[in-house]
Amino acid sequence: RQALIENNHFDGDFITAIPTGIDAERFVPGDKNHAREMLGLPAEDIIIGIVATVRSWKGHQYLVDAFSKIDCSQAKLVIVGDGPVREVVEKQIHEAGLDERVVMAGQQQNVVPWLQAMDVFVLPSYANEGVPQAILQAMLCERPIVTTDAGSITEAVEHGRSALVVEKKNSDAIAAALELLIRDPVLAERLGKQARLCAAVDYGFENMLDKMEKVFYGLME
């Protein structure tokens, strides 16, 4: 909506943005240990993860750099997704000496167990975002989230309430947010629970259908 207003000079009064609804019955918190057992991930690890196409503006490079800076030997990074800069990210991981601590899971048909297995979800995008489906999916799975204010992300999350929002292209800020959530499980749990509440209310299927119905009825009046 904002891009149409700013780039195409459309009148905002005639544009209604309706985010795609998410299935709150499919994306659920689940059993973390069961998910890890299914995926072959250690139960005792602290798993930081991302689900996203591996392309430049998703910010994988900043996440890997941040991960290399956190002081937690139990932490593992799981990268779910594939894309045009995968080899670049793999090279960065290797050069940082992180091969044994990073799992490149590739493209997955079902991301639910991967989200359920994570302790923290990260999406460090710096451009080209609307309201990312992955953010909403992670919210419904009650994952504490570290993200940025790229695009319309902050329409879905609020810093300190349902996520930690950090500066774009800032691996130090990402690392600090990750360390905070690792050190403070009470905060992590609170953010995760609030995230699910927000996503279920604002981005569930019923909400999407109600908004569409309102627009269509408005056109007929």
Per-residue pLDDT reduced to its tens digit, 48-81: 999 999 999 999 999 999 999 999 999 999 999 9
- Cα Rg, the chain, nearest whole Å: 18
> Is the confidence at residue 13, as pLDDT, over 90?
no
User: What structural domains and CATH numbers belong to the chain?
Assistant: 47-203 (3.40.50.2000)
Tokens of 200: 């279920």
The angle subtended at Cα 66 by Cα 82 and Cα 182, nearest 5°, is 105
Average pLDDT rounded to a whole number, residues 154-182: 97
Helix (H) or strand (E) holding 164, with range, is strand 164-165
Q: Which residue has the higher pLDDT, 79 or 131?
A: 79
Minimum mean pLDDT among 5-14, 121-130, 140-149, 157-166: which range?
Answer: 5-14
- pLDDT, residue 203, reads 85
Bridge partner list, 24: none
> Is the confidence at residue 111, as pLDDT, over 70?
yes
Percentage with pLDDT > 70 across the chain: 92
SS3 content of the chain, % helix, strand, coil (to 5): 50, 15, 40
